[in-house]
Each structure stands twice: as C-alpha cells, then as structure tokens.
C-alpha cells in the first residue's frame, strides 16, 4: 500500500485543482465518505491522508491513474 503524507496530499491537490482552488476544495467541499467532513476537517480529525486523497478522487471522479 502506498503511503501518502500530508505534504504529498497537498501536492496532489494542487496538481489536480490548482493552488487557489485546491485550498477551497479542501476547506469547503463536504464529502460523505469522510463522514460529512471537508478534506481539511478530515485531516485535522486524524484521518489518514491517503484515505482523504482517495475520497477526494472518488468524489470528483478523478482518473484511477492518479489515485495511487
């Protein structure tokens, strides 16, 4: 299993959404698979960054090739 650190999570977010939009997505987008939390709230709650990244990918239907 690939490990995703918090810094890698942010790098991936910025690559996919751009610097400004990545922050907005992480802060404002509520994702049901994260327990109705935003990605940022999920990270702050201690959810593994890889799980948060995969939830973002699924929610936005990002290509499988970038999920791991």
| Nearby residues of 47 by Cβ (< 8 Å), 6 or more positions away | 34, 37
Q: Is 21's pLDDT higher than 90?
A: yes
| Nearby residues of 9 by Cβ (< 8 Å), 6 or more positions away | 43, 49, 50, 52, 53
Chain-centre distance of CA 59, in angstroms? 9
Structure confidence by residue, pLDDT tens digits, 29-52: 999 999 999 999 999 999 999 999
pTM greater than the 0.95 cutoff: no
Cβ(4)–Cβ(50) below 8 Å? yes
pLDDT at 2: 55
């Amino acid at each position: 299993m690939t490990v995703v650190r918090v810094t890698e999570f942010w790098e991936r977010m910025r690559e996919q959404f751009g610097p400004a939009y990545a922050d907005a997505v992480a802060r404002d987008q509520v994702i049901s698979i994260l327990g109705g939390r935003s990605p940022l709230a999920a990270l702050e709650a201690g959810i593994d960054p890889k799980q948060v990244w995969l939830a973002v990918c699924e929610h936005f239907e990002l290509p499988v090739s970038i999920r791991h």
